[in-house]
Structure formats: structure tokens, C-alpha cells
Amino acid sequence: MFENLNWWEIGALLMLALLIFGERLPKVIGDGLRMLRGLRAMAQNATSDLSRELGTDIQLQDLHPKAFIRKHLLSEEDEEAIRKPLQGLFDDVKQDLNGVKSDLTDVAAAADLRPADAVKPAAPAPRAIDFDAT
């Protein structure tokens, strides 16, 4: 949640919270933690109710649609049958990309090996000086 915040920003947010809530800050933090515990308990109860209704053991992370289908509706053979046609395509694309990468590496290596005088910068054009004193 706070992966993009550094310590200075977190400290600034805490100081801002202290200025806004003042002496009520401990009560606000306690209320927030109580609400978070309540939400977790509600999610756990919903998960256990769903497990009981379906007759299987469901974890909270299993409620993601892809994970749910993979775990509860498909057998390993079904999953392998779905993956098999796409695996050949994946291997072909991977092989082609590796070929392109090696070609680019060869081109980059060849560009680095050019003689230094082959790429001389152009000499600046001489500037004409006008000494006309009229």
C-alpha cells in the first residue's frame, strides 16, 4: 500500500494527522484498526460460508476467478489440454524473439567495432570575416 512513499512522506503524513486530529489521534487510530479487524472478519466469514455451501475448502486468494476455475473446475488433464495448443505457439514466438535478440546483439557489436576515423565529425565551415570599413 505504501510502497511508493518514502520515510519523509510518511513522517509528513503522520505530522499532518497529528495536526488535524490532535488529541483525538489515538482514538481515530483505534477506530480505524477496529474497522479493519471487522472487515477482515467479514471476509473470513464470507469465505467460510462459501466453502460450506460449495463443500470445498476455499481460501481468500482462491476467490480470484482464474484461481477458482483452475482449482475447483478443471482437472490437471483439462488444464494441460487447454495449455497444449498454446504451448507450441509460445515456444515458436519465444524462439523468434531470441533470434531477433541475437541479431540485434550482432548489429550492436558490429556498430561498436567500426574504425574511429570512419565516423569523423564534419569540419566546421570556415567563417568569412568582412573587414569592410565603409
* Each residue's pLDDT tens digit, 18-29: 888 888 888 988
Q: Give the chain's mean pLDDT.
A: 78
Q: Is residue 3 part of a domain?
A: yes
3-state secondary structure of 128: coil
**pLDDT tens digit string along 76-130?**
777 778 778 788 888 888 999 999 999 888 888 888 765 554 555 555 655 555 5
Q: How many helices (H) and strands (E) does the chain have?
A: 4, 0
Indicate the number of domains in the chain: 2
For the question of whether the overall pTM of this predicted structure is more than 0.85, the answer is no
Please determine, for residue 60, whether its predicted confidence score (pLDDT) is greater than 70: no
Q: Are 101 and 109 contacting, i.e. CB atoms less than 8 angstroms apart?
A: no
The residue type of 29 is: I
- Where is pLDDT greater, at 121 or 36? 36
CA distance linking residue 84 with residue 90, whole number of Å = 10
1 & 58 share domain: yes
Q: Is residue 132 part of a domain?
A: no
CA distance linking residue 114 with residue 129, whole number of Å = 38
What per-residue confidence (pLDDT) applies to 128?
Answer: 55
Q: Are 43 and 49 contacting, i.e. CB atoms less than 8 angstroms apart?
A: no
56 & 89 share domain: no
- Distances in Å between the Cα of 34 and the Cα atoms of 25, 39, 43 are 14, 9, 14
24 & 58 share domain: yes
4 & 57 share domain: yes
13 & 57 share domain: yes
Q: Is residue 67 part of a domain?
A: no
Q: Is residue 134 part of a domain?
A: no
58 & 81 share domain: no
**Which range marks the domain in which residue 109 is found?**
74-113
7 & 58 share domain: yes
- Where is pLDDT greater, at 3 or 89? 89
Q: Are 49 and 40 contacting, i.e. CB atoms less than 8 angstroms apart?
A: no
